Amino acid sequence: MIDNNNLNNMDIEDILDVMGCRTRREIITLLREEPRFVSEISKKLEVGQKAIIEHLKAMEEMGILESSFKKVVRGRPRKYYELPNDFSIHITITKNTLKIDITEDLLNLKQLPSGDEWSKLLELEKKIDNGHWEAIEDLKSQIRIYNNLKERAEYILERVHREKFRRS
């Protein structure tokens, strides 16, 4: 499991190896949909099970994947693989720098805005992706609203902590 400490301690070579390998990227894409077991991944990607096992093992050791056994109706339990955490990898290459930042993805399910807000944000993203640049102003407006909400929430939290400290 990736935690904040492990995010920054991931080996850059391992990350580049994972992202540079088409099969590993395809495995990640499959696991984004749902947890899967080895033979299922092998069949979908048309890659031998032995190779899939090696890729899964490497990514699990890195902390990108997790596995667990689940009982099935007949036969022995199957080992399923899944992506336990959302995180982002940002690679910056300049003449004098190679920088790789790994951060937790802020858009995890526990922190998503309400359905209407999320739909509006996705709609704006789609408009911008389709070249409707006027939507950028709407996006800036949304950012201002979210920033104001965040500042108010932080103020409330700080006020509650001060009151609690005074009472102690």
pLDDT tens for each residue of 79-118: 999 988 777 777 788 888 887 777 665 444 444 455 567 7
Average pLDDT rounded to a whole number, residues 58-74 = 86
pTM, to two decimals: 0.54
Q: How far apart are CA 31 and CA 80, in angstroms?
A: 10
Cα–Cα dist 118/62, whole Å: 32
Asked whether the predicted pLDDT for residue 5 surpasses 60, the reply is: no
What pLDDT was estimated at residue 76?
86
Separation between Cα atoms, residue 117 and residue 125, nearest integer Å: 12
Mean pLDDT, to the nearest integer, of 15-21?
Answer: 82
What is the pLDDT, as a whole number, of residue 19?
81
Give 123's pLDDT tier (boundaries 50, 70, 90).
confident
pLDDT at 143 over 60: yes
Q: Classify strands 78-82 and 66-70 as parallel, antiparallel or unpaired.
A: antiparallel
The answer to whether the beta carbons of residues 56 and 36 sit under 8 Å apart is: no
Q: What is the residue-averaged pLDDT of the chain?
A: 81
Q: Going by C-beta distance under 8 Å and a sequence separation of 6 or more, which residues neighbour residue 80?
A: 35, 36, 37, 67, 68, 69, 70
Per-residue pLDDT reduced to its tens digit, 27-65: 998 998 889 999 999 999 999 999 999 999 989 988 889
Cα-Cα-Cα-Cα dihedral of 155, 160, 164, 165, to 10°? 0
